[in-house]
């Protein structure tokens, strides 16, 4: 029962709070969802801020390519987000921006007027500043400067989150949005990196199964500088099944027979039982551990378990 969950606290006895900032509905389930499920189970308050409604997202599940769905994609994606939110056990907040779409072609077409990626982060960070000051999170997560991958909304999500991280702590910025809050730590998701993908690829081959990563790894030269950015590996394998259920709730965005689910859970659990992060900003100490990796986003904040 939820009321019997343990509650992790900081040194002042305050329950821990975690804020994920994502670009679209479904990103919260494809990036860090097992970490989320673990912390929810530990009594951490987890909030997902979704920048856009995913209005211009493509339908990526062939079974969902129907005229009625295409005509109502905004409402359907909101309903999918509600289902995923229930599965993960989080509170979710829409920040109210309009999906930019993923421009394709050569040359690339211009982004649509009024979309999220064309906003000024110094101003468009305001809804997130208000949420940070309301929630007072100990930890914030988002994407790196490349957006995790170069979708214009992911890159803008990074920029807006960094702007809000600074502004929320500044008494002179947006004074009408509440008392300042300086979140102690900010992390970037490091979900799809070479070492993890190679380990899963080799494990699939060793089990006599076809790897979904063969094409992607072909010609991908490992970049040590990129890999070395990882500072934190959160053990969460027991929640991989929750992650998958949440992702499947986004039925327009995920093919249940596709690459997302090609690696059996027992292989993932044995080979790579963590979700990985880069500690990008810290107000409580260095951003890199003295040695090894952190195993907790709340390292240095949470009271150790008795």
Which residues, listed in sequence order, are joined to residue 217 by a DSSP beta bridge?
none
How, if at all, do strands 91-97 and 45-52 pair? parallel
Cα(71)–Cα(254) distance, rounded to whole angstroms?
19
Question: Can you tell me the distance from the alpha carbon of 281 to that of 290, in angstroms, rounded to the nearest whole number?
Answer: 16
Contact 52, 172 (CB under 8 A): no
Beta bridge pairs of residue 139: 18, 185
151 is in an annotated binding site: no
Of 127, 67, 85, nearest in space to 246 by CA: 85
**E strand intervals along the chain:** 17-22, 45-52, 91-97, 139-142, 185-189, 232-235, 274-282
User: Residue 259's closest CA among 197, 174, 172?
Assistant: 197
Q: Please return the burial class of 213, using the count of CB atoms within 10 Å of its CB with bins 0-12, 13-18 and 19+.
A: buried
Compute the distance between CA of residue 268 and CA of residue 141 in angstroms, rounded to an integer.
Answer: 23
How many whole angstroms separate alpha carbon 298 and alpha carbon 117? 31
The answer to the question of whether 27 is labelled as a binding residue is yes
Contact 69, 43 (CB under 8 A): no
CB 283 within 8 A of CB 185: yes
Task: Show binding-site residues for Zn(2+).
Answer: 24, 27, 154
Binding residues: 24, 27, 154
């Amino acid at each position: 029962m939820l009321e019997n969950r343990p509650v992790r606290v900081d040194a002042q006895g305050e329950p821990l709070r975690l804020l994920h900032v994502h670009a679209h509905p479904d990103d919260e389930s494809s990036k860090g969802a097992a970490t989320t499920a673990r912390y929810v189970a530990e009594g951490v308050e987890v909030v997902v801020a979704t920048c856009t409604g995913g209005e211009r997202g493509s339908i990526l599940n062939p079974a969902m390519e129907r005229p009625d769905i295409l005509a109502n994609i905004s409402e359907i994606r909101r309903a999918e987000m509600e289902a995923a939110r229930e599965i993960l056990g989080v509170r979710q907040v829409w920040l109210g921006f309009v999906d930019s779409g993923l421009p394709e072609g050569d040359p690339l077409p211009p982004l649509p007027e009024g979309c999220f990626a064309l906003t000024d982060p110094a101003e468009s960070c305001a809804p997130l500043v208000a949420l940070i000051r309301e929630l007072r999170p100990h930890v914030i997560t988002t994407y790196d400067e490349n957006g995790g991958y170069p979708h214009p909304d992911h890159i803008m999500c990074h920029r807006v989150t960094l702007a809000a991280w600074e502004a929320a702590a500044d008494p002179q910025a947006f004074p009408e949005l509440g008392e300042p809050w300086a979140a102690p730590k900010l992390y970037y998701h490091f979900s799809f990196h070479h070492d993890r993908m190679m380990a899963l690829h080799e494990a699939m081959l060793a089990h006599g199964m076809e790897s979904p990563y063969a094409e992607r790894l072909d010609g991908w030269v490992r970049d040590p500088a990129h890999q070395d950015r990882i500072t934190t590996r959160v053990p969460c394998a027991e929640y991989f099944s929750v992650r998958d259920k949440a992702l499947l709730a986004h039925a327009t965005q995920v093919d249940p027979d596709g690459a997302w689910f090609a690696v059996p859970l027992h292989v993932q659990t044995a080979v790579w039982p963590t979700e990985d992060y880069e500690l990008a900003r810290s107000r409580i100490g260095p951003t890199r551990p003295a040695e090894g990796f952190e195993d907790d986003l709340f390292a240095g904040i949470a009271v150790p378990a008795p």
